[in-house]
Amino acid sequence: MGAIRVSQYSGTTGLYMLQPYDPSRIPVILVHGLISTARMWRNVVNELEMDPQLRGRFQYGVFNYPTGNPPLYSALRLREELANFRLLHPESLGYLLVGHSMGGLVAGMQATTVTRESWDVIGKDKARQFLAKVQKGSLIERALFSKADTNVERIVFICTPHRGSEMAIGSLGEIGRRLISLPVDLTATITSSLGSSIAVITGNPSRMPNSVIGLSPSNPVYKILDARPIEAPFHSIIGDRGKGDTPNSSDGVVDYWSSHLRGAKSELIVPGPHGSCELPETLDELRRILRLHLKESKIRTL
C-alpha cells in the first residue's frame, strides 16, 4: 500500500539500524524495491549473520520508504538519512549499500554526482527548458542534482533496472500509474518548480512522475545516470529465469540489457526470477562480497 497511498506511509520513511550502533562494525544498508518494504531483508540478514566470518564485523540497517514516490525523490530521502546518520556518528566506518530492483537505483544514486550540466546529455535545449524554473536550494533542485557520498565504499545491485523496465510501459504499468497517489505537497512542489516541462520525464505535462513512470526506459534520467560514473566499487547480481542466453535473458521484470553495467567488480547471473534475494546463489555471492570488503578494508588500514 506504500506504493499506492504514498502520503499514508510517508511517516515511515527512514534509516533503521537493526542492531545497537557499534563504531567498530561496518554499516550495511539494505534498500528494498517497488511494492515492497524493509521486511523483505529479514531472512537475508539472518543468513549473513549466521556466517562466523561476518558476524560481529558488520551492522545492518534498512532504508524504508513508500515506493510510489519518484526514484529521484526516494534517493534524496536516503541521502538525507545517511547525512543524519553521519552527523550522529561522525566516527562511523564507511558503509556498504545493497539495493534490490528500484532500491538499487536509489542506492546507486548515492555514489553518483549529477550537476546541472549533466542534464545536457538529453539535449541542451531540452535540459534548459526542463530546468528553467528550478530554484536554487529547492527540494526539486536537491532531488535533480547530487554529489557522490564519499562514505559509500561499495554497492551491490540485485536485479536492478539501470535503464528502466519495459513492464513500466505495459498494461501492468498503466494500472500502477493510475493507482499511485502522491502526497499533495509533493505534487504541488513538482508543479510549481517544473510546470509543463515535466513532460520531459513523463511524456505528458499533466502527469506526475511517480515510481512506475520513473521506471520507464524512456525516462531521460537513465541517460544521465548512464553517462555518469558510479564513484564506488560495485557488484551486480542478475536474475535469469532459465533462458541461458545472457544478452537476451530476463528475470521476468528486468532484462539483462538493463541490469548489466560495465565497470562492475563482479557480475553473477543467478537462476531465478526478479525476487532472487534469498536464492542460495545470491546469499553465497553476498557473503563473498562482504568477505572481500573485509579483506580490502584491512589492507587499506595497514
- Is residue 292, in this structure, part of any structural domain at all? yes
- Is residue 198, in this structure, part of any structural domain at all? yes
Domain count along the chain: 1
Query: How much is the average pLDDT of 100-122?
Result: 97
Residue 74 is predicted with a pLDDT of 93
Strands 152-158 and 26-31: unpaired
- Is residue 97, in this structure, part of any structural domain at all? yes
- Is residue 108, in this structure, part of any structural domain at all? yes
**Span 262-273, pLDDT tens digits:** 999 999 999 999
| Distance between CA atoms of residues 24 and 44, nearest Å | 22
Residue 171 is predicted with a pLDDT of 53
- CATH number of the domain where residue 223 is located: 3.40.50.1820
**Span 119-139, pLDDT tens digits:** 999 999 999 988 988 989 999
- Is residue 79, in this structure, part of any structural domain at all? yes
Of 176, 192, 229, residue with least CA distance to 2 = 176
Domain interval for residue 69: 6-301
Residue 109 is predicted with a pLDDT of 98
| Distance between CA atoms of residues 82 and 71, nearest Å | 16
- Is residue 233, in this structure, part of any structural domain at all? yes
The grid cell for 49 is 549473520
8 Å CB contact between 2 and 14: no
The grid cell for 99 is 539495493
CA distances from residue 267 to 188, 246, 252, 255, 289 in whole angstroms, order as listed: 41, 12, 18, 14, 11
The grid cell for 267 is 557480475
Query: How much is the average pLDDT of 204-224?
Result: 78
- Is residue 1, in this structure, part of any structural domain at all? no
Residue 298 is predicted with a pLDDT of 72
Query: How much is the average pLDDT of 104-132?
Result: 95
pLDDT, greater one: 5 or 40: 40
**Span 54-90, pLDDT tens digits:** 999 999 999 999 888 889 999 999 999 999 999 999 9
Residue 175 is predicted with a pLDDT of 46
Of 128, 145, 125, residue with least CA distance to 136 = 145
8 Å CB contact between 80 and 51: no
- Is residue 250, in this structure, part of any structural domain at all? yes
Q: What pTM does this model have? A: 0.91
Whether 230 has a pLDDT exceeding 80, the answer reads yes
Residues of the chain with pLDDT > 90, as a percent, come to: 66
Residue 301 is predicted with a pLDDT of 57
Query: How much is the average pLDDT of 13-27?
Result: 96
| Distance between CA atoms of residues 157 and 39, nearest Å | 18
Residue 102 phi, psi dihedral angles, 5° rounding: -60, -25
Residue 67 is predicted with a pLDDT of 82
Q: Give me the chain's average pLDDT, please.
A: 88
**Span 147-181, pLDDT tens digits:** 999 999 999 999 999 999 887 666 555 545 555 65
Annotate 240-283 with DSSP letters as a single string: --S---GGG-B-SSSBHHHH--TT-SEEEEESS-S--TTSHHHH
Annotate 138-159 with DSSP letters as a single string: SHHHHHH-B---TTEEEEEEES
8 Å CB contact between 149 and 143: no
pLDDT, greater one: 1 or 241: 241
| Distance between CA atoms of residues 211 and 66, nearest Å | 10
Residue 300 is predicted with a pLDDT of 63
